[in-house]
Amino acid sequence: MNYATHKATITWSGEEVSLDDYHLYSAWPVSGGRLKAGNAIGELTELQPHEALRIEESGETSMVPVAAVQSSEMIEIIPGDRIPLDGRVVDGDAEVNEAMLTGDNRGVASYIAARCGITDVQAGLGPLEKAAVIRALKAKGACVMMVGDGINDAPALTEADIGITLGHASAIALESASVAILNDDLRLINTLDTSSSRCFSIIRQNLVWAFSYNLIALPLAVSGVLHPIISALLMVTSSFVVVSNSLRLKNL
């Protein structure tokens, strides 16, 4: 094993921050370790956003460069935003509210919920009662995602807008859910959420491109402005753009 000790300085929100005496352990030569360290520092600096939504004294908001935000000022963020400065949340609720619906007793449910950081706990529920809770949430306009793997979760999985189960779930849960995560790892739910959003974004991009191309190219082709060979080449190009854009999903 080789190791190297490095010192680096990065810029964070307009201020220089020193990373002193950090140790890098690697099975590669020290030169390879230095390259990895440089790449890691580059990825760290990329986490800094370029702009922030600053809340003015009048209550209005304005988009400003990160360097213009002072430590005493307030900025507005939404879940998923990068935070440019160290600070604390003074107002607002999470976009995603987590709750536990379980048939176990209150003591067991509260213990598990506390370890997971969940405050909304409803224990001692039967299968139809779980479904009723989800139905009530949907009636209030909420979009509900249900995660469960048991037989008694099946009605709730069906009732929810999105039902998610795990690979080793019961057969009826697998049948009732919209999505099955093959590995029994709840952390993959975040991956699913991110990948789904990215997938729909690319689908929308492809639709905009395809419709825009057809709305422009077809009338020109019909009117004779475009030569048939050029029209065919443009159609191949359009298909190539859509396929190439879709292949970006492999990087998720």
Does 126 share its domain with 138? Answer: yes
Q: What is the pLDDT of residue 196?
A: 84
pLDDT band for position 57 (cuts 50, 70, 90)? confident
The two tokens of residue 11 are 């810029």
The whole-chain average pLDDT of the chain stands at 77
Question: Residue 249 CB: number of other CB atoms within 10 A?
Answer: 13
Token pair 């039967």: residue: 126
Does 176 share its domain with 209? Answer: no
Q: What is the mean pLDDT of residues 72-96?
A: 61
Closest by CA to 103, choosing from 114, 116, 112, is 112
Does 108 share its domain with 163? Answer: yes
* Residue at which a domain ends, from 145, 164, 187: 187
Q: What is the pLDDT of residue 124?
A: 92
Record the pTM.
0.53
Give the residue with greater pLDDT, 155 vs 252: 155
Does 128 share its domain with 66? Answer: no
Look up the CATH number of the domain holding residue 105: 3.40.50.1000
Give the residue with greater pLDDT, 8 vs 120: 120
pLDDT band for position 74 (cuts 50, 70, 90)? confident
Give the whole-angstrom CA distance, residue 54 versus residue 63: 6
Q: What are phi and psi of 86, to 5 degrees?
A: -65, 140
Q: What is the mean pLDDT of residues 131-137?
A: 93
Q: What is the pLDDT of residue 219?
A: 83
Q: Which domain holds residue 19?
A: 2-46
Q: DSSP 3-state assignment of 26?
A: strand
Q: What are phi and psi of 43, to 5 degrees?
A: -65, -35
Q: Is it the case that residue 69 has pLDDT exceeding 50?
A: yes
Q: Which residues make Cβ contacts (< 8 Å) with residue 122, sequence separation at least 6? A: 99, 100, 101, 102, 133
Q: What is the mean pLDDT of residues 127-145?
A: 91
Does 150 share its domain with 114? Answer: yes
Q: Is the dihedral of CA 51, 195, 155, 151 positive or negative?
A: negative
The two tokens of residue 159 are 């009732």
C-beta separation of 23 from 34 below 8 A: no
* Residue at which a domain ends, from 153, 187, 221: 187
Count up the domains in the chain and report the number: 4
pLDDT band for position 88 (cuts 50, 70, 90)? low
Q: Is it the case that residue 139 has pLDDT exceeding 80?
A: yes
Give the residue with greater pLDDT, 215 vs 133: 133
Does 175 share its domain with 126? Answer: yes
What is the 8-class DSSP label of residue 76? E
Query: Half-sphere exposure (CA, 13 Å, Cβ side) for 182?
Result: 0
Q: What is the pLDDT of residue 232?
A: 82
| pLDDT over 90, % of the chain | 17
* Residue at which a domain ends, from 60, 95, 130: 95
C-beta separation of 1 from 28 below 8 A: no
Exposed (0-12), middle (13-18) or buried (19+): which is 147, by Cβ within 10 Å? buried
C-beta separation of 13 from 85 below 8 A: yes
Does 172 share its domain with 110? Answer: yes
